[in-house]
A and B are shown apart, each in its own frame.
Chain A
Amino acid sequence: MTVYIFFMLAVLAVGSALAMILNKNTVNSALFLVINMVSLSGIYLLLQAQFLAVIQILVYAGAIMVLFLFVIMLLNVEDEEKLFDKFRFKYFLTFLLGAALIGQIFYSIAGAADMLPEISQSMVTVGTVEAVGDVLFTQYLLPFEMTAILLTAAVVGALMIAQHKIKKEEA
């Protein structure tokens, strides 16, 4: 059963990713990215990582994508008139590079197939909120606090960059 759900979610994730990069309308691209993230969160649930699934929806599909949509609406950029207006060497090269990269990764996965881990027995307990919080607030407490400082610095920096320049008029 989980196998079918996994393949459904995987097809949804890859399809929405493809639709995202091939869509002319920026808002539609952002919404396809939301679909992609929701299906990834379903895959996290299949991996018994409930905390990550919730965080993926809350932070990515909630906060970050809303931020993206805000910026898209704020800038009000018009659609790109044509994605592939004429055949360019660049597209060909890009496709070639992508095919080479995915070929390399698949080759290395296939080569290491006997070294890959099997499903661990403790998988059901490893991803719960309790387990994550237990480790996060003891062993990884310092990085966690550093994350808070990083987010504060990011917010202050974004305000500094994005605000209007206040012209100082000499009276």
Chain B
Amino acid sequence: MVGIDWLLALSATMFVIGMIGVLIRRNAIVIFMCVELMLNAVNLSLASFSSFHGNIDGQILVFFALAVAAAEAVVGLAIIIAIFRNNLTVDVGQINLLRW
């Protein structure tokens, strides 16, 4: 098995890809998927630390993070649907109701 530094590097790379996606994309659904990608990247580093330490608590935390991610996806997609119904777009550049 590879060392834990490779797993952490993979996790960091995926996190940064997700962050770049959030910043450059304008489609709200794709931004949301990038947030899921970042959550996954953090889950990977939690799980790898858990396995390398031989301590189960990290994997329990991943389980709870997954449950929270599911709840967050449901509510976020509902919000996207509500916005689309009002504005007929999911382009975050054109949704500026709350912009000062």
Please list the residues of chain A having a beta carbon within 8 angstroms of any beta carbon in chain B: 2-3, 6-7, 10, 13-14, 17-18, 20-21, 26, 29-30, 33, 36-37, 40, 43-44, 46-49, 51-52, 55-56, 59-60, 63-64, 67-68, 71-72, 74-75, 77, 80, 83, 90-91, 94-95, 97-98, 101-102, 105-106, 109-110, 113, 116-123, 126-127, 131-132, 135-136, 140, 143, 147, 150-151, 153-155, 157-159, 161-162, 164
Contact = CB atoms under 8 A, between A and B. Distances in A.
How extensive is the interface on chain B, given as a class? Answer: 35 or more
20 contacts: A2-B1, A7-B2, A20-B33, A21-B25, A49-B50, A49-B59, A68-B32, A68-B73, A71-B80, A71-B81, A101-B19, A109-B8, A119-B1, A123-B51, A123-B54, A126-B59, A143-B64, A147-B67, A150-B67, A151-B71
A75 B63 contact: no
A98 B5 CA distance: 19
Given A21-B34, A52-B59, A75-B90, 6 more contacts: A6-B1, A37-B40, A98-B16, A132-B59, A157-B78, A162-B77
Contacts of B59: 49, 51-52, 126-127, 132
Contacts, number: 221
Residue among B2, B6, B51 with the most chain A CB within 10 A? Answer: B51
